[in-house]
Amino acid sequence: MKFVVRKGSLYLVLIVTALLVLSDSLDALMRGKDAAIFRQFADASPEISAADYVALISISLIINTLIPVTYAIYQYFSLRFAGQSSLARAVWGILLIGALAMRLLGINLSSLFAILSSVCLAVLFIHHILMKSAVNRERSSTR
């Protein structure tokens, strides 16, 4: 069974995703430009150069933002064209909770941007769950 995403719900997903990408980008910028953090990393792994360190930060930025950004793109296209199936909603729920768990396991509590991006990802997951329960209420009221 398919259902259509509402525009207000889409705007919330897009704004939270944009805030998440911004905070992740600023966190990566701060980690990449801070010499003290690089020195700590270099002491732990002396064979890695500064270019390798910056590449590692760039790859972690891409990995951290990949699932939320593709979720927002999926929400946009499901509103615009087809709607969402129950299987797709379940898969996105699993992906979002997995991304949230990985982020919480590796969170840097000294970085405000890392905490903000974790909160944004939690808001996306909670919104995803609440959107599903709202659709279930609509289905039961129309029967």
- The predicted-structure confidence for 72-121, as pLDDT tens digits, reads as follows 999 988 878 877 888 989 999 999 999 999 999 988 888 899 999 999 99
Q: Is the pLDDT of residue 142 over 60?
A: no
Q: Which two tokens stand for residue 86?
A: 């129950």
Q: How many CB atoms lie within 10 A of CB 138?
A: 10
Q: Is the pLDDT of residue 7 over 90?
A: no
Q: Is the pLDDT of residue 28 over 80?
A: yes
Q: Is the pLDDT of residue 133 over 70?
A: no
Q: Which two tokens stand for residue 20?
A: 């998440």
Domains of the chain, by residue range, sit at 2-28+63-142
pLDDT for position 65: 95
CA angle 27, 33, 39 (to 5 degrees): 110
Nearest-angstrom CA–CA distance, 74 and 10? 10
DSSP bridge partners of 3: 84
Q: What mean pLDDT value characterizes the chain?
A: 87
